[in-house]
């Protein structure tokens, strides 16, 4: 398992430099005052005056966006390059934030305190081999009555072949404890980037996610499913006027993204 996570950390360290320069992330726009949050993420509620822990924060633009909305924020990620860039952005923009470089599972040994909100979003769960341990970390950091909020691509959407140019074809497992290995070129933010690496990912069904959170002592408040997703998961997706990526009309409606809210009783 350590070898899988080491390979993924090397990939994310390399991707940080690519993403910093990419149009996808638009760091210049963020520096100018833009928020790196979509309307589904902002349905977490009012964060003003509240403490918020952002898990798998990458290089911190979403974390710092929560701070712009009034939260006291902490971001955590296992990529030292991403955390270094997050701290740089915090200093450059004058937005106060704490950033911790840590394997998610070791975070309770590297960070003290409890939070009003724990948040994570968009393309995060497939990098985690153990959802039960993930859920226990979330519960550890939540105050009593605190809220966990997740926005993520729907597990159903992940089963389809992401290399087929025009059709929906099942290629990947809906849920699997064994990692999948991929030879990676470029990154999702810049497929043309001069980078080759190896990534390992895990498939988690919706039942896996919900059951892990319940077992950790959280109460599920809602799960909302959406027929769109935040990035171009499949080559033939079409972008709508709000920036969401959808399947062409010839396909029936199906869940592509979901939001989950849970509370620590």
CA-to-CA distance for 256 and 245, rounded, in angstroms? Answer: 9
Q: Where are the domains of the chain?
A: 2-264
What are the tens digits of pLDDT across the range 99-151? 999 999 999 999 999 999 999 999 999 999 999 999 999 999 999 999 999 99
Band of pLDDT at residue 1, cut at 50, 70 and 90? low
Please give the torsion angle defined by the CA atoms of residues 27, 20, 115 and 37, in that order, rounded to the nearest 10 degrees: 40
DSSP letters for 143-154? EEEEEEEEEEE-
What are the tens digits of pLDDT across the range 35-51? 999 999 999 999 999 99
Query: DSSP state, 158?
Result: G
Question: Residue 183's pLDDT is what?
Answer: 95
The average pLDDT across 184-211 equals 96
Nearest of 30, 27, 57, 22 to residue 41 by alpha carbon: 57
Topology of the domain covering 2-264: Rossmann fold (3.40.50)
Question: Residue 2's pLDDT is what?
Answer: 87
Contact 254, 227 (CB under 8 A): yes
CA-to-CA distance for 33 and 218, rounded, in angstroms? Answer: 35
CB proximity list for 124: less than 8 A, separation 6 or greater: 55, 56, 150, 152
């Amino acid at each position: 398992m350590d070898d899988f996570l080491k390979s993924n950390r090397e990939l994310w360290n390399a991707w940080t430099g690519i993403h910093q320069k990419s149009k996808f992330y638009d760091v210049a726009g963020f520096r100018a005052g833009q928020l790196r949050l979509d309307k589904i993420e902002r349905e977490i509620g009012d964060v003003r005056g509240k403490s918020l822990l952002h898990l798998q924060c990458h290089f911190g633009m979403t974390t710092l966006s929560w701070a712009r909305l009034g939260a006291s924020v902490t971001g955590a990620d296992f990529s030292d390059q991403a955390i270094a860039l997050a701290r740089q952005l915090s200093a450059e923009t004058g937005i106060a934030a704490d950033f911790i470089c840590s394997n998610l599972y070791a975070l309770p040994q590297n960070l003290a305190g409890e939070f009003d909100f724990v948040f994570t979003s968009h393309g995060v769960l497939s990098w985690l081999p153990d959802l039960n341990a993930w859920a226990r970390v979330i519960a550890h950091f939540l105050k009593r009555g605190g809220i966990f909020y997740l926005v993520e691509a729907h597990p159903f959407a992940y089963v389809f072949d992401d290399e087929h140019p025009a059709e929906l074809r099942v290629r990947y497992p809906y849920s699997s404890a064994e990692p999948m290995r991929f030879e990676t070129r470029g990154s999702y933010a810049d497929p043309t980037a001069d980078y080759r690496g190896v990534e390992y990912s895990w498939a988690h069904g919706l039942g896996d996610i919900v059951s892990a959170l319940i077992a950790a002592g959280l109460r599920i408040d809602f799960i909302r499913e959406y027929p769109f997703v935040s990035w171009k998961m499949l080559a033939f997706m079409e972008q709508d006027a709000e920036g969401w990526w959808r399947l062409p009309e010839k396909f029936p409606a199906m869940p592509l993204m979901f939001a989950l809210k849970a509370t620590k009783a």
